[in-house]
Structure 1
Amino acid sequence: MSESELKMELSTLVKQRGIIKGRLTRFEQYVKELTSLKDIPALKYKELELKTSKIQSLISEFEDIQNKIDILHSDPDEQIQEREMLENKFINLIAISQELLDNSGVKKETDHNDQFSSNYSSHKHSGIKLPTIKLPTFDGNYLKWLEFKDTFLSVVDSNLEIPHINKFHYLRSALEGSAAVVIKSIEFSAKNYKVAWDLLCQRFENKDILVNNHLTALFNIEPLKRESYKSLRFIVDHVMKHLRALETLGLPTNKWDILIIFMISSMLDLHTARKWQEHKSKSSELVLLTDFFDFLRNRADILETSYFNNTHSDKVPDHKHKTNTHSKSFVAAVDKKVNNNECLVCKEIHPLYLCDKFKGMTVDERLGEITKFNLCKNCFRSGHNAYQCRLKAMCRTCKKKHNTLVHVTQTENSEQPSTSSLPVSLSVVSSDQVLLSTALIQVVKDKKTYTARALLDTGSQSSFITESLKEKLGLVINPGGSVNVCGINNSNCSIKQSCNLKLKSRCNSFEIKVKCLVVPRITGILPNSLINTEYLKLPSNIELADPNYFFPSEVDILLGADVYWDIVGSNLIKLGNKNPVLQESKFGWLVSGPISTQQPTSQVYCNFTQEIKESLERFWTIDDLPVTKTYSVEEQLCENNFIENFSRLPNGRFAVTMPFKESPEEALGNSYYIAKKCF
């Protein structure tokens, strides 16, 4: 589909949504008028009940249109706001109307002109209030005609106690779209009710068209690409509904078993089709359609059970250390209203994706907040993950199912001010994760202390500090030339800055001075995912060097082998096979070693540098188009006028004077006297 066609389709969908908003606004005005009345007539309550049912049916239509807009629109955040605003408006109006109906005090007697009551006299004095039978709506869809006709005849038309003028009113309120146009020109009177009903039946009681529509619906079922319990149940319900309709129209559907089975089985996915062939081969007789439907229902039950078992196992990473508990849920009514729009980061009233504090974080910090509050990475809501998210919007950068605010750029650190090479990250898949030794330490600067997170690494000959921490502390750069650092794959990196630090322990009086090389970033977040520590039996009488070792966080300092052995002690505590080891140190007990996550996959990062910056720059130089813009004389005048005269208004908008080719005095000349004479 071309871009112009996409814009046209998006414009049509927005117009359809606007029509729904208009109907909702008119209903809102109608409800406000009712609430302003002191004494509401009983007929008004019946009108309100019918209008409320139509508004409730309008919600599904709005959901379908909004889902299509979410897919086509380039700004999903704007569409999320629009969706929430309209959904809240729907819910608010329906709640107000239901409260009015509940408090109406109008008795719905079973024997006085009530279309929603049962006309069986046995229930007349039983004291049991039967559920309300709502009138169906009909929009001209032939597939819904039989259902609408049977319901309307049984509830309204066959009820002799309802006056014809009321029946005509119920009929008009139940029709929509092309169906409403059929009787629109008929004068609203009691004697014209039969005329309107006969005209409607004459228009839609077309047996050939009804049969063709139901057969088309049967033969246009989409083939299944993969096995799904929802798809199998939809096929069973869809086929049975249309077969019953065709049977009502007088067709011998009870003799179509072989044809229907052949048609539906050819649309099944490969795995389900193979299971059906195995099931059918066990019987030497012809299989009936009821047997085929029983097979599909049983298959759907198995798939659903398997799906929810897998979902439950994903939520509980370690069953060995979980105790079976039985929980009960209670619902309590409170007067305090819970605001679902409260931001979890700054505690103000707005969605998370509009939070300035959240936007000001780095991508890693945002991911950490989302993991902390157990939110979906796509819509930033709780209760599901990105795979289960029903929001159709995707990342505008990579088109994958996550929000653009948490998109991790593969070349995020491609330009490093103090290095001459480009960092490259490699990852491998592993079922377990390895914890590295981290510690929270205090950095002393001008008799003030600052808390930083350090990584202890014996594989490094030097110590390092991030550029952001150096700028935060205002450390003085040591004089001297650049240092060439050699890493994995024999890749070289030139570091031009270094500084001196004074580190202090949080749990004792230990202090040490360290010389650190300054780099933009030491590594990614450690650990790379949240660790479940419920089953780790850590001793209660020790003080950890990093109390939050299990939570993904940035690393500010790397302490290499030049100071490592001055910090660590000789005592070890082993927690068992495939469990971390506790190492005594001056900063507290370090936690490091393998840890079983019981998750399908996790990532292990290995950061190194390669000398590819110059090659990329040559590639960009060759492929870049000329960026020099040549302006005409008039374009240059407009550009100069904007630069010289634009300003910012108090409301945030920009203002600029209109550019003229020549001054108004010269352009108009002596037209004043001519205009005055004409006047």
Structure 2
Amino acid sequence: MSCYEIELRLNPEASFDQSSELIEHFTDVYFKIAEIKKRLTDALESTGTADNSNPLMNNTTIISSNAPTLPRITLKTFDGTISAWPEYRANFESLIHHHESLTPSAKLNYLRTTLSGPALALVKELPITDVNYPIAWDALIGMYENKRMIGSSLLNKLLSFSAIQNENKNDLSNFMSTFGECVSAIKTQEIADLGDFMTLHIALKCLPKSLVKTFERRQTRETMPTTKDLLKFVQRQIEILDLTASAPMSSSSSESSKKYSHDSSPKRSFTATAHSPTEKTRSRCLCDCDHFLYKCPKFIEASVDERRDFVEKNHLCTICLRSGNHQDRCDSGLTCRVCNDGHNTLLHCDMPKEADPQLSDRKERVKRKNSSSSESQAEQETADSSGDESKRVHQALKSNPTETVLLGTAVVRVKGADGRFHKVRAMIDSASMTTIIRDDCARRLGLPRDATSERIIGLADQSIPGVSASTVCIIKPNKSGKPIFRSNAVIMEKITTQMPTTSVPEPISSKYRHLQLADPRFFEPQDVQLLIGADIFPYIFTGKRETTTPNEPVALSSVFAHLQTLMIVQEVSQNLASELADPKNSYE
């Protein structure tokens, strides 16, 4: 029964003209909707997705109160510990890296939140953009994806496990978790010969660290050395020891070995170094304190005659004022700063040079000696007395210049693992056969490393220690995009001391302010992070140069802008000369 019929029975005399029109309109709309519904249902049934694939039905199923609530998945974190890398990588790749619905920028955000320590340092400077995610992920892969390092770290963890003394649940549970995790992680590395790998690892533990470093430098990142390789290497070392032990050293080679035994690595610092005092060379002091005679306040305050008497009574050298030495055999190279005779400045007195024939003889002997110890001499001569003596020494020091070599430095940009170019202070050295980058700089840039067997040879054919690996450096000027240099650089813990070794005086450095300098603060001693060698050197300079006056730096035009290089002659230690007027300041 329709609504119309019901209303008609309730009110037979009512007028239904208008109501009938509304009912007819409603009926038309209803049947049109029913027809559309039928067509949609037929279309869904024809594609086989009428039930389970219906979005409305699926949503209803998801929000059903009977559906179980799953726990929230927590991502593993990684702090740079190499043994934890396999588990972290598997976890992150399965949940985030291979998740197609996530954008690369979202993946990078997840990546940064799961990292800490050195691992985070590799990617924390990268802006969160789609293009930076593969760069960050590749940087982590390049740093930590190393089968041998991971396997060795896991074996170390197993071998360092403390023996269980008593049978208890906690210790046994710790044993199970440690060995279970490590063994599973080692198997995931798919090492071809696991037994040989373990034997090699134990064998390397039995050798000296210096020998192990030499062996490792000959390996590459991609290869897996074997126990056989190690035995061949050790056998070769035995042969080398036999050969070097059977060859007698001549007297000249013995002297050479003594000369270079303290430090075989070349130091590009052109200043003399003062040797540390020993008990054998330390002379007895007037005040019985533990310092050299020329630093003794009582000796300084004494008259020249009293000083001479003390030196003669104690059989001290009249040149270096030390015991166990004699002026006829003194090789210090010191002379008097007042008269240039062969005696110490503290023993100088105003008399004609011809009055002491022994001093004249010593002067000739000293002149024939070619050993120079300028820094030691400066330390010696600061111990002069007050009054006229200090004035003469002050004048002598001011008139004795020293030489400082100013090597060319430049601020360049090196490409890091993040794809960006970072500022690095470099030194230009045509005498170096290869480009060298400092270890901490390579780590800061996140550069991938490869093992290298390359050796760095310094003065006297001495091998330089500290070569750990090599990497590819892409270098460009600081202020322009071209040219771009590519160099296979050696990684070392330290390249050289701060350059320049001493500050360049302001009157000299100010003459180059009008130039565009490759290193705007070339005059300040600073660390060198990169040494650009002969592999790039020929392509740097353009041939132009600018000079001011002789004995001052030459500005050489290069692709990096102007480089300052030359030997600077400057006055020695202005502070030292100004303090000599008060002897107390010189001996505190």
TM-score for both structures, normalised by structure 2? 0.31
Instruction: Select the structure with the greater relative contact order (CA < 8 A; seq sep ≥ 6).
Output: 2
Q: Which has the larger radius of gyration?
A: 2
TM-score for both structures, normalised by structure 1? 0.27
